[in-house]
Amino acid sequence: MSEVIATNQTILVVGGGISGMSAALEAAECGKQVILVEKNPSIGGRVSQLYKYFPKLCHPKCGLEINLRRIKANRGLRVMTMTEVTNIEGEAGNYSVTLKTAPRYVNENCTACGACADAVEAEFDDEHNYGLGKRKGAYLPFNQAYPERYVLDPAIIGTDDGEKAKAACKFDAIDLDMGESESTITVGAIIWATGWRPYDAGRIQPYGYDRFPNVITSVEFERMADPHGPTGGKLLRPSDGQEAKNIAFIQCAGSRDRNHLAHCSRICCMASLKQSTYLRERYGDDAKGTIYYIDIRAIDRIDDFHQMVKQDPNIRFVKSKVASITENKENSNPVLHGVDTEGYHRYSNEHDLVVLAIGMEPSVPANGFPMEVVLNEEGFVELDEKNGAFFAAGCSADALDVNRAVQSATAGALRAIQVVNKVAGAEG
């Protein structure tokens, strides 16, 4: 940590998702010195957990790969993983920032050979798969992780597993004595790109996410659909491991609801439309999808995608806010209850699996910022001059799709560059 060279002409980017990566690259490729800090062991953020991107249905892995290549090639950009900002003091053009880095217990000698993972026994819920599968106590966060370096779970330090991991490593890469470190750096501007987290589905009581195993969230469904995910791409019911061919997608799960998130999360309609194509891709004519929606929010080329899905005879649209879900005790099928607002008739529809299009909320709660920041009512960072040179990018500014998140990141980079250029100009 002590080798961090940062000055008031340096830009700090906090959060290594697609927005933070984009902002960092834009600034670094303009010749600025950039430090990118990420709290997780790898950068990539939540897009690394998606199977495909709407509207093109391409794999996010391609875009990530291009960004990673650009990051590796840029000497003005330093990536620090497992690092968080604990304090910020100062003003635009001159901030003093305290960073805290958690121990990885694996140093740069790591070749990602995986011998440590083979040696340890303890398993933990796999965060990358939203807990749908397990990972070892020594692990690579996901197959495209950067840095491509293993990490030891702190829970195995001081146990036999920790020693086994160390003994298995031929490259002297495991350091069980590694500790937390802290440093203070100076930067001129800060781009805050800490992104979003899924709204807690358990709080939407009538949908029974915590009670019924076959009610899952849209983020879990992304992992299930991914051939590299916990089910090898099979859409399996958590209750019995049977394939789910008749799937309901419920829109606005937590969003546009004063009891939960008042805002529209913007991407959920498109996420469900996209996920209905996963179902068709996997089970062809046997697939039956039903989308329960209030209204579909899709414009421009995104509406073309909506129209394409609407043409599909195997995907049904029901205009209704689902009132509640119960469970058929005999087969664990979720049963959806509500009123179809087009025909005004009541329904009780049974499905194999229900996917809640869960809303997006800021990943950092209002009281979790390391300095005073102006936020809007939903907790997203405002563009406000009181925030000085602290600029939000991507989903820390609003619930956005990737296209808009990257635009927001470019705007954040430009604002930060303007600040550090001014500093440079003033210092001659």
Q: CB-wise, 53 or 139, nearer to ligand FAD?
A: 53
**Shortest distance in whole angstroms from residue 67 CB to ligand FAD:** 11
Q: CB-wise, 290 or 363, nearer to ligand FAD?
A: 363
**Concatenated DSSP letters of 362-378:** ESS-GGG-SS---B-TT
Residue 250: helix, strand or coil by DSSP?
strand
Cβ(375)–Cβ(367) below 8 Å? no
Amino acid at 182: E
Cβ(15)–Cβ(192) below 8 Å? yes
Q: CB-wise, 222 or 327, nearer to ligand FAD?
A: 222
Which residues would be at the binding site for ligand FAD (CB under 6 A)? Answer: 14-20, 37-40, 45-47, 50, 53-54, 84, 193-196, 218-219, 222, 267, 271, 274, 360, 363-364, 394-395, 400-403, 405
**Shortest distance in whole angstroms from residue 22 CB to ligand FAD:** 8
Question: Which pair of tokens denotes residue 49?
Answer: 């957990």
User: Can you list the positions of beta strands (E) in 142-245?
Assistant: 151-152, 181-187, 189-192, 196-198, 215-217
**Shortest distance in whole angstroms from residue 103 CB to ligand FAD:** 16
Q: CB-wise, 195 or 379, nearer to ligand FAD?
A: 195
The angle formed by the CA atoms of residues 297, 298 and 303, to the nearest 5 degrees, is 145
**Shortest distance in whole angstroms from residue 129 CB to ligand FAD:** 14
Q: CB-wise, 40 or 214, nearer to ligand FAD?
A: 40
What is the residue whose two structure tokens read 């604002």? 415
The whole-angstrom separation of Cα 32 and Cα 414 is 11
The angle formed by the CA atoms of residues 187, 44 and 97, to the nearest 5 degrees, is 20
Q: CB-wise, 53 or 390, nearer to ligand FAD?
A: 53
**Shortest distance in whole angstroms from residue 244 CB to ligand FAD:** 17
**Shortest distance in whole angstroms from residue 58 CB to ligand FAD:** 9
**Shortest distance in whole angstroms from residue 292 CB to ligand FAD:** 16
Q: CB-wise, 170 or 301, nearer to ligand FAD?
A: 301
Rg (CA), the chain: 23
Question: Which pair of tokens denotes residue 19?
Answer: 């927005």
3-state helix, strand, coil in the chain (%, to 5): 30, 25, 45
Q: CB-wise, 105 or 196, nearer to ligand FAD?
A: 196
Q: CB-wise, 282 or 422, nearer to ligand FAD?
A: 282
What is the residue whose two structure tokens read 């229900």? 354
Q: What is the DSSP letter of 58?
A: B
The whole-angstrom separation of Cα 187 and Cα 7 is 5
Cβ(104)–Cβ(148) below 8 Å? no
Cβ(21)–Cβ(49) below 8 Å? no
- Report the DSSP pairing between strands 189-192 and 134-136: unpaired
**Shortest distance in whole angstroms from residue 53 CB to ligand FAD:** 4
**Shortest distance in whole angstroms from residue 113 CB to ligand FAD:** 25
User: Can you list the positions of beta strands (E) in 219-286?
Assistant: 246-253
**Shortest distance in whole angstroms from residue 172 CB to ligand FAD:** 29
Q: CB-wise, 138 or 355, nearer to ligand FAD?
A: 355
The whole-angstrom separation of Cα 71 and Cα 53 is 22
Residue 231: helix, strand or coil by DSSP?
coil
Residue 104: helix, strand or coil by DSSP?
coil
